[in-house]
Structure 1
Amino acid sequence: MSLDLALSTILSPIVLFFVLGLGAALLRTQMTVPEAFAKGLAIYLMMAIGLKGGVEMSKTALGPEIAVLAISAIILSFGLPFLAYMALRFTSKMDRINAAATAGHYGSISIVTFVAATQALQLAGIVSSGYMVAMAALMEVPAIVSALLLARRGMKKTGAVAGSEKGELFREVMLNASVVVLVGSLLIGWATGETGMEKISPFFVTPFQGVLCLFLLDMGLSAGRGLRQGWKDLNFGALSFGIYMPLISALIATAVSSLLGLNVGNAALLITLCASASYIAVPAAMRLALPQAKPSIYLTLSLGVTFPFNLTLGIPLYILLAQMIAA
């Protein structure tokens, strides 16, 4: 069963299009996706995900169990960067600023990895709850706060973020496009329910898989360029971090899922969220708050190493872990 799931995930069109883009970039082909078009694809995907999650939430009564799950998700997002920071400092000897900036990526989430996990669950016939989309939105921000706390502690001089920049940073984090679109679409789907979704399903439901393939082709191109250009800034310890940190986070999330008594689908998605690494919201915040940190380090690890690992091997493993604790 687990082998079949792994093969069906790896050989799915969305993964193969990612591999196509990755290989094209590594081979230095001229293939490109216009930036404006790629941003449009990202907005479409987040709208579709949010709407679907909101519709599912409209069918579910929000009670103490969901509140406890939400609090747990926030704590995980805030706490995992501290563990990632210690691991980076110990295994890679990375300097404090770059270690802090990189660690923040490993508490926040990759919405595309989350989407791929939901598709894998559907292929396996495993049901998950729509409110897990809300958990993804909640886990975007806390890790950024952790990264800034770690960076500030590591700096010899205080005032790493000047007072005039704090308002900009708050806007960058809380009003980040991915957060606004995801949360806004979630609320719209929740308010309009199935009736509203039926009216727009020809645009947001039927073409979803094809749009996801286009987006992952672009992600593959970005990951390949990151690996090609950023590997010189990374030693073996840093590169291995991009593989072992998601696994550590997955095990922690598995334990939390077991304690919360989550079903297989919800546990698999929580594990995937914790094991993923941001390459949208956190890099944007780090560029503003920690301009001295190197994107060639944190983007290469999150997008060039962790993202391909999760997309091909990680997701089947996370579903297997969820099945083990639910058995």
Structure 2
Amino acid sequence: MSMLDPIILFFLLGLISGLLRAELRLPAAIYEFVSILLLLAIGLKGGVELAKQPLTNLLPDMLAVIVMGVALALLAFPVLRLLGRFSRADAAAIAAHYGSVSVGTYAVAVAYLGSRQIAFEEHMPLLLVLLEVPAILVGIVLARGISRQTRWGDVAHEVFLGKSIVLLVGGLLIGWAAGPEGLIGIKPLFFDLFKGMLALFLLEMGLITATQVGSLRQYGLFIVVFGVAMPLLSSVIGTGLALALGLSIGGTAMLATLAASASYIAVPAVMRISVPEANPTLSLTASLGVTFPFNVIFGIPLYYAMAEWAHATWGGLTP
């Protein structure tokens, strides 16, 4: 996305203000409201489009992204253990973050493609929801193995009844049930104001990101390198999978972005319960302090350019 795009400038305003310790912070209630609105808006948009096609047609894409989420976590884990020399618990927790997905990054990608009138497949919000779960389960198994001591009931509650999943799935179901005509009355709030709400969200995310920068001095160069290299590698995997699934250029860019993003909401909540010995600062420094700003400022335009190049080079080879 262009550095002149206002939503990116809002993120940079928050980041710089946080680094300079300016007296700036969104009230907690406002940030909560903006988060809820964004999650519901993403779900509603996806639900409206899902109503236009049978769910069975989407099964190949759904199964493929579940496998991708598992594979990305399994790929990150040995790198973190062998090269980063992290403990088993810390490596598993960080790997789970990178196999999962960032709703905030997805929202920025939606705005990026929308501002350029680039279409993408309507079921992307469904794939977003599916990518939240598998890496979390893989991370727990990598940290603990299959153990009776794992509180699977608590894990299931955090995974499936966490705020992001409930709002995304709820929005999908409401959009699917109501259809475009039924949503006309709420369109101004959830659709027309989407980019403005995203700007406020990114302002707060910039402020939060600034709080993680200090940890980079403590944990060194490896987290910075991993936080950039892992999303680049994951985006290549996402691009290849999108080509195999026959997605459009916009859909390829979106799947690459989903693969490249790292969770900073759902996964930390679950890891706190299931792997309490893991250091959450490591995971959040990598995912929120490095990967999120990299993706928002540089990654998304790069992934779109990669999608264009891949379709021009290999697009004719896919069914």
Question: Structure 1 length normalisation: TM-score?
Answer: 0.92
Instruction: Tell me, in whole angstroms, the C-alpha distance in 1 between the residues paired with 2:36 and 2:161.
Output: 14
C-alpha contact 1:250 1:271 (8 A) present in aligned 2: yes
Which residue number in structure 1 is paired with residue 293 of structure 2?
308
Q: Match for 1:30 among 18, 23, 29? A: 23
Counterparts of 2:221 and 2:189 in 1: how far apart (Å)?
A: 45
CA positional deviation for 1:232: 4.0
Aligned equivalents of 2:56, 2:310: Cα separation in 1: 23
Residue 233 to residue 297, structure 1, CA distance change in 2 (3 Å): farther
- Residue 62 (1) aligns with residue 47 (2): no
Structure 2 contact 12–206 (Cα < 8 Å) conserved: yes
Identity %: 44
Deviations 1:83-122 (A, max 9, x none): 1111112322112111110110001100111111111112
2:315 aligned residue:
none
Determine the C-alpha separation between the residues in 1 that align with 2:107 and 2:256: 13
State the distance in 1 between where 2:139 and 2:218 align: 20
The aligned counterpart of 1:72 is 64
Q: Is residue 120 of structure 1 aligned with residue 112 of structure 2?
A: yes
- Separation (CA, whole Å) in 2 of partners of 1:125 and 1:206: 15
Q: Distance in 2 between matches of 1:198 and 1:170?
A: 35
Matches within 5 A, 1:278-297: 278-297=263-282
1:283-305 deviation line (CA, Å, top 9, x unaligned): 11011111111121101110110
Q: 1:222 aligns with which of 180, 196, 208?
A: 208
Letter aligned with residue 160 of structure 2? M
Quote how far apart the aligned CAs of 1:63 are. Answer: 4.1
Q: 1:270 aligns with which of 212, 237, 255?
A: 255
* CA deviation vs aligned residue, 1:232-287 (integer Å, no higher than 9, x gap): 44121222100000001011111111111211111111110000000000011011
Secondary structure of the 1:122 match is helix
Give the partner amino acid of 2:171. Answer: S
Q: Which residue of 2 aligns with 1:46?
A: 39
Q: Which residue of 1 aligns with 2:317?
A: none
- AA of the residue aligned to 2:105: T
Q: What is the SS of the residue equivalent to 1:94?
A: coil
1:49-68 CA-to-partner distances (Å, cap 9, x unmatched) read 1111111222234343x210
Matched residue pairs, number? Answer: 312
Pairing partner for 1:93 from 85, 90, 94: 85
Counterparts of 1:286 and 1:37, CA distance in 2: 26
Distance 1:288 1:32 in 2: 28
Find the counterpart in structure 2 of residue 149 from structure 1.
Answer: 141
Question: Are residues 1:137 and 2:137 paired?
Answer: no
Matching residue of 2:7? 14
With the length of structure 2 as denominator, give the TM-score of the two structures: 0.94
What is the rounded CA distance, in whole Å, between the counterparts of 2:268 and 2:311 in structure 1?
Answer: 35
Distance 1:86 1:93, change over 3 A: same
CA RMSD of aligned residues (A): 1.5
Q: Where does residue 162 of structure 1 map in the other structure? A: 149
* Cα distance in structure 1, aligned partners of 2:20 and 2:83: 30
State the match for 1:323 in structure 2. Answer: 308
After the TM superposition, which residues 220-259 of structure 1 pair with which residues of structure 2 at under 5 Å, given as runs? 220-228=206-214, 230-259=215-244
Query: What runs of 5+ residues in structure 2 fail to find an aligned partner?
Result: 313-319
